[in-house]
Structure 1
């Protein structure tokens, strides 16, 4: 009788732990960027949205602002933010990608270490936006 009660209690405890465990198997994307990840556009200019780049961890899409034939701003519209780790990664990766894109004036930028998948999606969407602006 004691063994049955012990077995039943351990089975219930294992099931409770198993069902309370959360994973991030399904990629989700933020529909509005976090303020730490994106700076607001300055000045006036035309905006061009890049295509949505489907990555392993979620969709990535950027918008560029062009003024006088020059990219003046890059905004991440959609990016992986389904869990705390995604948010941590993109909080440091997106500003670096934005800075590099503005400096390079192209999609030929370095990937951010630790955010390779997001970086590749960012570059793909950025290139599409540059092509739409006829700057590619």
Structure 2
């Protein structure tokens, strides 16, 4: 009976061992299916090395073409960097002097007013005055009697005393003048023309 049990146990153990051995993968077959490493040999080309070679070729073909400077083109002129710059003494860098505001009061215009012609027994008398604002700055006899030598002499006396920038007209600033002795008619005619000119200037 014991022999029969040992025989059955041995048979079962051998069967189990046989099944396990058959189920285990063949190590030699697995070793053959593993691809060889990329560095297996200098003369062998592997599929793993090909992808690394392609980017190198793309990089070589995609390298930028060297640009040529425009100054190297034939027939093209290039401006010198200092050509467009104006020197310190150039007119382009000079600024016109700023206009300074005038602080002086504007000078009033001098106006000239002419009196009417006043006649007397010796001739005609006409006076003109120059005014700076409301002030008389000059008096001038435009016409005086000159018919005779005597009337010419009297007219010269009246003109010398009344007219000019230093005459009585400028000094008095009016037609209230002293009568020249011996030339009453001419003096009065002068004063009348002068008063009319002053009235026109107002």
Confirm or deny that 1:55 pairs with 2:120. Answer: yes
Secondary structure at the aligned position of 1:126 is classed as helix
Name the larger-Rg structure. Answer: 2
Aligned to 2:195: 127
State how far apart, in whole Å, the 1-side matches of 2:120 and 2:170 are. 23
Does the 8 Å CA contact 2:129/2:197 hold for their aligned counterparts?
A: yes
Instruction: Report deviation, 1:68.
Output: 2.3
Residue of structure 1 aligned with 2:172, choices 85, 99, 104: 104
Using CA pairs below 8 Å that are at least 6 residues apart, which structure has the higher relative contact order?
1
- Calculate the TM-score normalised by the size of structure 2: 0.44
Does the 8 Å CA contact 2:113/2:128 hold for their aligned counterparts?
A: yes
Instruction: Report deviation, 1:107.
Output: 0.4
RMSD of aligned C-alpha atoms?
1.1
Instruction: Report deviation, 1:127.
Output: 0.2
The structure richer in strand per residue is 1
Instruction: Report deviation, 1:97.
Output: 1.9
Which structure 2 segments of 5+ residues have no match?
Answer: 1-108
State how far apart, in whole Å, the 2-side matches of 1:130 and 1:75 are. 13
Give CA deviations for 1:67-89 in whole Å, capped at 9, x if unaligned. 12100110000110112111111
- Provide runs of 4+ in structure 1 moved above 2 Å: none
What is the aligned residue count? 91
Confirm or deny that 1:95 pairs with 2:160. Answer: yes
